[in-house]
Amino acid sequence: MKRGYSIVEILIVIAIMGILAAGILSAYRFIAKENVTKHIVAKQEADVGVLINQLLKDVESAGFGVDVDNLTSTTITSGILKFPSLASREEIWSGCWAVLDNGSLTIKSKNFMGQDCEFPSAWYIILDSITKKNLCPSTLDYLCNDLTGMSGLGFYATTNDDYKYPQSFMVSYSLTQTNLPKECAQGTYNLIKTIGTSGYAGYQANQPIISCVLPNSFKVRAGIQSGGSIIYQDSVSSSDIQSHNLKLFRICLILQVGGKQDTVTTKPQFSTDCGGGPTIDSTWWNNIGRWYRWKVIEQDIQLRNYQ
C-alpha cells in the first residue's frame, strides 16, 4: 500500500501548485472567446484588447498539464508558434487539475467558467509532483482512465477515447490569407489557430483568431534566461526547455484598426526586443498600407508551466 504524503512532500506540492495555478488562470477565457467569435476585425482602438485576449491567454496556457519530456515539442519555426497544452481542447473541464493521493482527489481547481471542477469518467494525465514525469502507461497512449492507487498531480485531458497524447493536444499559430474579411486591407493576413496534429483525432485547422494583420508582422520570440538577464531569441531549443531557461514568449503583432482613411500614416515598427522591422514592401505600402491605421502589439507572456 502506498503511504500518504509527508509534510515536506505536501509543502513541495503546494509550491508547485502555486506555479501551476498561475498557468491555470489561462483557461479562464470564456468571455474573451465569445467576443472574438463575434468580431475578429478591430474596428476601433477599443477592440484591440478583446481581439488579442484569446491569443495571450492561450499562449499563457502553454505546457499546462504536460510532462517534462513533451514540453520539448514547443517550437518557434518560420513564423509558426507550436506548443502542447491540455487546456487547448476547450471541453467543459479543460483546465481542471487536482492533487491525487493514493487514488483520492483532494485539492481541486475551477474550470474556465469559474465552476468547481468535476472529475468524471474520462482520460487524465498524472504527473509526478516532483519530477513532472508522466505516470500514465504507454499502452494507453500515456493517458490514464483508472486512477486507483495513484498519487501525484492529476490533469483532465478529455472524454474522447480516440485522442492521442500529446498529438491531439498541440496548439499552433500562424498566418494565412485564406478567407480574409472584406474589411481588411488588400494583402493583409489572418492569424489562425490550429488544434491537434494532422492525421490524429481532434484535428481542427485554420480557426481565425485575428484578421487584418500587417504582412510579415506576426513574430514570437523566446525569452531565455542568461545569468540575471532575459535574452530574446527567434527560436527555442530543447536544452533551453530542459534547463528551465525558457521563461517567456514575447508576442509581436501589428494589426489594422478601422477602415481606409483619407490621411496617410507612418510605417509601424517593432522595438529591438521584437527584433525590429518588419520588412514592408514599398510598393504595397505606398499604394495600400499607408492609407490604413495600424496598432503595434508587444506583449511578454510568462511561461509558468515550463519552470
pLDDT value at 114 more than 90: no
Q: Is residue 227 part of a domain?
A: yes
Q: Is residue 117 part of a domain?
A: no
How many Å apart are CA 142 and CA 88, to the nearest integer? Answer: 17
- The count of structural domains within the chain is 1
pLDDT value at 119 more than 80: yes
Residue 11 pLDDT: 43
Q: What angle do CA 258, 79, 52 make, to 5 degrees?
A: 40
Residue 187 pLDDT: 97
Q: Is residue 302 part of a domain?
A: yes
Q: Is residue 108 part of a domain?
A: no
pLDDT value at 46 more than 90: no
Determine how β-strand 97-101 pairs with β-strand 189-195.
unpaired
DSSP state of 261: -
Residue 22 pLDDT: 45
Residues 278, 270 contacting (CB under 8 angstroms): yes
Residue 16 pLDDT: 52
Residues 268, 296 contacting (CB under 8 angstroms): yes
Q: Is residue 178 part of a domain?
A: yes
Q: Is residue 87 part of a domain?
A: yes
Q: Is 78 exposed, middle or buried (0-12, 13-18, 19+ CB in 10 A)?
A: exposed
Span of 8-17, 72-81, 162-171, 279-288 with lowest mean pLDDT? 8-17
Residue 28 pLDDT: 35
Helix (H) or strand (E) holding 230: strand 229-233
The mean pLDDT of 204-211, rounded to a whole number, is 92
Q: Is residue 120 part of a domain?
A: no
Residue 122 pLDDT: 96
- Residues 6+ away with beta carbon under 8 Å from 164: 141, 200, 201
Q: Is residue 140 part of a domain?
A: no
pTM here? Answer: 0.85
Q: Is 182 exposed, middle or buried (0-12, 13-18, 19+ CB in 10 A)?
A: exposed
Strands (E), 73-169: 75-77, 80-84, 97-101, 104-108, 123-127, 152-158
Residue span of the structural domain in which 33 resides: 7-98+167-306
Span of 22-36, 105-119, 198-212, 221-235 with lowest mean pLDDT? 22-36
Residue 12 pLDDT: 52
pLDDT value at 24 more than 60: no
Tens of pLDDT, residues 78-100:
889 999 999 998 899 999 999 99
